[in-house]
Amino acid sequence: MALTRIQPPAIADVREPNFRNIVINGDMSVAQRATSTASITTENYYTVDRFNTFITTLGTWTQSQDTDVPTGSGFATSLKMDCTTADASPAAGDRLLFQQKFEGQNVQYLKKGTSSAVPITLSFWVKSVLTGTYIAELFDNDNSRQVSKSYTISSASTWEKKTITFPADTTGALSNDTGDSLILHFWLGAGTTYTSGTLNTSWAANTNANRAVGQVNLANSTSNDFWLTGVQLEAGSVATDFEVISYDQNLERCYRYYEAIAENDTAVGFGGSYDSNTCGFHRSCSPKRATPSITQVSGTNYYRIYTGATVSFNSFSIAYANPQGGIFYATPTIADNLIGWFTCYNAAAKIALESEL
């Protein structure tokens, strides 16, 4: 009898991502700091990881990780800006933008500053109440060079996908280090310092007046909202499908720059006291870009060590830090040679390690 070989069922071709997307957290899925922050008037990282809000006296905003996303796109979250105090007449130096900074060592394959430099393509989904012209920009922080491209939001409150290709730049190599060599900007508003010239659509030495020409002012009304998701920046002149990576991989990439350690009545670590006014513990972390600093929400009796007796204190410091962690310590009045659990006692307490660009 002839034997028939039974073929196994087809298995979907699932590969590890190659991280062709230079942007980290482009699907806005990781938001370690908060899911919503109100009364924003100054620069900081507020909600979605790796997206910094750069603002100079241009309105007041609430930022959130939102669930409004383009239908059928596969995204679950977006980054939203909601204008709560308008500024219809920006001063010359006013500006509002999102930015993500990239380490030089991560963008060497763009070959910038060589005769083999490649174009760079940006794709993203965007939605705004305010239609009109918006500006996306690449800024070479090592050589003070930049290039800007405009895109148009055509329909109010409607998700639209945009694709922009920036030309190759054969001038100005990017440093091969952990510094912020290349920066991606999404402009949302700008004064005449940045809009009074001619939009610079080819790489050139930075002239502020040429950076955001034509940009609408999202701050001109409290009715204005803006959403962004699916951000991808890649080598070449063709936009590929958004590179999906698992949440845990995305989170680990974000940890390189910011890692929330504990919050809201959770354990921070286990350690003890080693003199009459110092207690602490060692805490390891995911490898950081550089030696981290401690970021925390502090207040009266926000933290405790439980050693049989309970000792409360207001904040931590960090010593002997390196990119893999350090010693967290506090200085309450405490007996020698006690051991116990350190916790965030107050619901508002939060501790993180940060090494942002």
pLDDT tens for each residue of 51-61: 999 999 999 99
Please, are residues 189 and 218 in contact by the beta-carbon 8 Å criterion? yes
| Distance between CA atoms of residues 47 and 53, nearest Å | 9
* Order of all β-strands in the sheet with 120-128: 36-40, 60-66, 78-85, 225-235, 120-128, 160-166
Q: What's the chain's length in residues?
A: 357
Please, are residues 83 and 59 in contact by the beta-carbon 8 Å criterion? yes
Residue range 308-341, pLDDT digits in tens: 889 999 999 999 999 999 999 999 999 989 999 9
Number of helical (H) and strand (E) elements in the chain, helices listed first: 1, 22
pTM of the model: 0.94
Q: Is the pLDDT of residue 17 over 90?
A: no
Domains of the chain: 36-254 (2.60.120.260), 257-354 (2.60.40)
CB atoms closer than 10 angstroms to residue 197: 15
Residue whose C-alpha is closest to residue 260's, from 350, 355, 329: 350
Residue whose C-alpha is closest to residue 237's, from 140, 136, 166: 166
| Distance between CA atoms of residues 357 and 340, nearest Å | 35
Residue range 78-123, pLDDT digits in tens: 999 999 999 999 999 999 999 999 999 999 999 999 999 999 999 9
**Dihedral in degrees, nearest 10, Cα atoms 288, 289, 294, 295:** -110
Residue whose C-alpha is closest to residue 134's, from 173, 52, 189: 189
**Dihedral in degrees, nearest 10, Cα atoms 265, 267, 271, 275:** -10
> What number of CA atoms fall less than 13 Å from residue 189's CA on the CB side?
31
How far is C-alpha 357 from the geometric centre of its chain's CA atoms? 10
| Distance between CA atoms of residues 2 and 68, nearest Å | 59
**Banded model confidence at residue 16, pLDDT cuts 50, 70, 90:** low
Residue range 267-279, pLDDT digits in tens: 999 999 988 899 9
Distance from the first to the final alpha carbon of the chain: 70
- The structure tokens listed for 324 are 């893999």
How far is C-alpha 146 from the geometric centre of its chain's CA atoms? 20
- The structure tokens listed for 229 are 């998701």
Which parts of 141-297 are beta strand (E)?
A: 145-153, 160-166, 180-190, 204-205, 225-235, 258-263, 267-275, 278-284, 293-297
Please, are residues 284 and 324 in contact by the beta-carbon 8 Å criterion? yes
pLDDT at residue 1, rounded to an integer: 46
Tell me the H-state helices in 177-330. Answer: 247-255
Please, are residues 296 and 316 in contact by the beta-carbon 8 Å criterion? yes
- For residue 269, give Cα distances in angstroms to 62, 266, 278, 281: 33, 9, 15, 6
Residue range 21-51, pLDDT digits in tens: 999 999 999 999 999 999 999 999 999 999 9
Q: Is 132 exposed, middle or buried (0-12, 13-18, 19+ CB in 10 A)?
A: middle
Residue range 131-186, pLDDT digits in tens: 999 999 999 999 999 999 999 999 999 999 999 999 999 999 999 999 999 999 99
